[in-house]
Structure 1
Amino acid sequence: MNRTAHEREHESELVVARRTAEASDVLGLTLRHPAGRELPAWEPGAHIDLLLDDAGGGAGRLIRQYSLCGDPADRSAWQIAVLREPDGRGGSAYVHDKLAEGACVRARGPRNHFALRPAARYLFVAGGIGITPILPMTAAAEAAGADWALLYGGRSRASMAFLERLAAHGGNVQVAPQDETGLPDLDSFLAPAAAPAPGTLVYCCGPAPLLDAAGERCREWPPGTLHTERFTPQEPEPRAAASPGAFEVELRQSGLTLTVPPDRSVLQTVQDAGIPVLYSCTEGTCGTCETDILKGEADHRDSVLTKEEQEAHATMMICVSRCRGRRLVLDL
């Protein structure tokens, strides 16, 4: 789980080998090692961090996560696609405007909290740039001989990336541009909710309203059927048993016991004590800071772990989650 300075994730400088226009405001990047070395293996659903602040003059921490959307069998390159977001926090603008062909950028990962599990049947739902992690999933499902279908929505065909690649799958793919067909018809695609076919898994990635709508349709499906990946934090559920105040956290590896105040996160408190840990989004969406829990229960506030994983209290995202009680023991 969370790696200290003694156990780092793979991180290296890569070169932008190719830029492609995948759709209106969607830029595709092919990244390679400058010396031609193989890149770490990955599986559908994985993402990488791009560390953009190194090239930005050190003007602040600018790390963004992008799903890998190429061929996992091709170890010579990683492919990502980035939507320009005019109201974003600067990451997409930097990628679009600064990462020309031949430019270098540091990358970290890959990391996968959206892994494709074996199943006889898959229903994939993608909205906009949410197609990026879904794209290699459809290829994997096809290669495995599984029954699968994809419902892909977007503002317009011009804004929807990878339509040509998906066209090869024919009737397996339903394309739903909003300016032509309205919102994606989840009721039909996910019906009948009360009696899903055995062995079916649902994978959904896209804007929060789409994920929330898919969650409503799958509410009666067996636990573990629906898998989602969010770009923004999920609205937290009420926590009647959560501890609103300070609590103790014991760092087993470091031999320290720290007090986490109400206005500081576990991550901030650990950093204040001089313990180096990996983190990125600080919103509970990327999974970088996931840490093993050795004792105690977390007040989970992330958008990464499934409900079943949260209830197991085996790991927590220390950037947002707190303690359900007065004390936690973490493997840090």
Structure 2
Amino acid sequence: MKRIGILTSGGDAPGMNAAIRSVVRSCIYNDIEVYGIFYGYQGLIEGEIKPLHIGSVGDIIQRGGTMLYSSRSEEFKTEEGQQKAIDQLDAHGIEALVVVGGDGSFRGAQKLTEKGVPCIGVPGTIDNDIPGTDYTIGFDTALNTVIEAVDKIRDTATSHERIYVIEVMGREAGDLALWAGLAAGAESILVPEFPPNVDDVIDKVKRGHERGKRHSIIMVAEGAGSAVDYAEQIKNKLNLETRVTVLGHTQRGGSPTAFDRVLASRLGGFAVDLLRNGEKGRMVGYENNKLVHHDIIEALKLENKISKDLYNLSNQLSI
């Protein structure tokens, strides 16, 4: 293995730069040339490819986002687009690829592997929704961003005696809402994995109000329904002042936490080791405090399970 490429794809996540840095420097340490592919798979198709050196990744470990940029590519989903990508890799002498991203990025990596380009996937998404790893790069940072915001919102909720419904990212996975809600002491947490019942939420708010509680935090994953709709129902049934905060893309940004920096560094270095050892079509992960790797497609076939124990605990603690 003489030359490896790296790209980031899909939604950005804090810690991606730390993963890029780890891949680049692990390659250089092992006398492997490394090329950065800018703008994801679309950039690969268009030949947005440049060599990376030690200095190329200096002072990026603390930066959010991705220095390689990211984009989504409809063209890459076609056979023609995939062949263009392979032609670009051949033209630049790139023998293997490290792909940092989520499940869509991994499916692209598997397609390239099937066509003869060894690829390793590194899980990077704030949703923590990739099977085969306990944590994805960016989740811990996004979690802390949400907690900081909720702590501030609770201050004003207390001052004005209001109900706040806070919507966080997570179309199909509720990990961010669950962990943030538990850590921030939310009175109710609504996630897509456990179909929410708005009447239960209203009853809990009502019971709290009857015992003298004058403010509440309701945490909603976007895939569990609209925060605006929930707030309207609470307001209409209880006649209590209700406000909505949609945190949006603030959750994606910011300097990565120490955990995300270390996780990304370990996964990036491990990906290079796997390629050096002839592995391909694999994803790296972190399970039970150990680095692991799985077949990409087999891993994606597994159901990403939210912790029912954690969900039950959140209900017990928010009585």
What TM-score do the two structures reach when normalised by structure 2?
0.27
Tell me which protein shows more helix as a share of its residues. 2
Q: Does 1 or 2 have the higher relative contact order (CA < 8 Å, sep 6+)?
A: 2
Please identify the structure whose Cα radius of gyration is greater.
2
Tell me which protein shows more strand as a share of its residues. 1
